[in-house]
Amino acid sequence: MIKQVALQITDQDYQLSKSRIVGKDLLFSSDSDFYKALSDGFFLLEIPNHIEVLPGLNLCHNFYKDNDGHNDSYKGFKKHQSLYFDRPNFQTEHILTDQQTRKEFFPTEVKQLADKMNNLAIIILENVLKKLNVPEKDWDLVTGHCVQNKGTHWFACSHYRSEIQKPGCPTHQDTGFVTVLYIDEPGLQAYINKKWENINPVPGYFIINFGRSFEILTEKLPVCVKSVLHRVSQTYKVNGKKDRVSMAAFTNMPNDLCLYQYSSNKILSVYQTVEEFLQEFNKTTWDDHYTDFGLTS
């Protein structure tokens, strides 16, 4: 259920902890930066040299356009009703794909980008589980095999329609464990320390945030993950500039499994089925006719 929060917004950009990945290790400059990332629910990750984001941005700026009879694999996604979502209450329209549908519909270079962002999410997930002393024998179970690159690994491309006079996207928590987000325009806001903060892009960095599944799993442990409320404010047309877009890789439990939670003494129990969890999310967040969003692809 989405919480009601105050509308105070700070004028300055919020400073997130910065991190990088070396091999299979997620590195922060200090432990305090790591714990700040857990508490904020957001942090920055340096984009590795082997990842090229331009193909993904190209798809974000074109997926909603008609193909006009040409064989352009970056356009024409509106005809795929299982992939394309036109949100009636918000500026955003987006496509959502799992690993299988990416193979079928995405240009090769975008599929490769999505896979690489997904791999980053898995590395982050493993590192945080280890740092929180979650027993390694439980990792497969509590992540729905996400740590084995199974599970459900969504990839979303979003376009914010500046001609629509509505909010960019609703206040929400991501549903999964780890989100790897790329933005190159302002608009993202997060509710941190009881006020809304501007989370603006930093060149050369992904924005990482933790999802509600991770928060549920760890929230009773001595050190836990915070899944922060966030939203995108209404965007406006600027002459000579393209509309705001974003792309994100999400690491989620499969829909036919259950979410788990540890007690304070690390006794593991079932919290809720994933299907029930996602149905509630769709109803309270988007409030539209896409009741199976994230349940089918």
* DSSP H or E segment with residue 178: strand 178-183
Q: Classify residue 294: in a domain, yes or no.
A: no
Q: Classify residue 292: in a domain, yes or no.
A: no
Count of domains for the chain: 1
pLDDT in tens, 50-62: 999 999 999 999 9
Q: Classify residue 47: in a domain, yes or no.
A: yes
Between 179 and 292, name the one with better pLDDT: 179
Q: How confident is the model at residue 291 (pLDDT cuts 50, 70, 90)?
A: low
User: Which residues have CB under 8 Å from 159's CB, separation 6+?
Assistant: 60, 61, 63, 64, 92, 93, 94, 243, 244, 245
Q: Classify residue 207: in a domain, yes or no.
A: yes
Q: Classify residue 290: in a domain, yes or no.
A: no
Q: Classify residue 147: in a domain, yes or no.
A: yes
pLDDT in tens, 236-287: 999 889 999 999 999 999 999 999 999 999 999 999 999 999 888 878 876 7
Q: How confident is the model at residue 289 (pLDDT cuts 50, 70, 90)?
A: low
Q: Classify residue 2: in a domain, yes or no.
A: no
pLDDT higher than threshold 50 for residue 297: no
Say what the pLDDT of residue 145 is: 95
* CATH number, position 150: 2.60.120.330
Token pair listed for 276: 């029930």
Rounded Cα distance between 181 and 1, Å, is 23
Range of the domain at 28: 9-285
Q: Classify residue 293: in a domain, yes or no.
A: no
User: Which residues have CB under 8 Å from 134's CB, separation 6+?
Assistant: 142, 217, 218, 221, 262
Question: Dihedral of the CA atoms 118, 123, 126, 131 (nearest 10)?
Answer: -140
pLDDT in tens, 9-47: 555 789 999 999 999 999 999 999 999 999 999 999 999
For the chain, what is the mean pLDDT? 92
β-partners of residue 159 are: 93, 245
Task: Enter the pTM of the model.
Answer: 0.92
pLDDT in tens, 71-100: 789 999 999 988 999 999 999 999 999 999
Q: How confident is the model at residue 158 (pLDDT cuts 50, 70, 90)?
A: very high
17 by Cβ neighbours in 10 Å (0-12 / 13-18 / 19+) ranks as: buried
Rounded Cα distance between 114 and 116, Å, is 5
User: Which residues have CB under 8 Å from 135's CB, separation 6+?
Assistant: 266
Vertex 107 angle, CA 101 and 110, to 5°: 85
Q: How confident is the model at residue 293 (pLDDT cuts 50, 70, 90)?
A: low
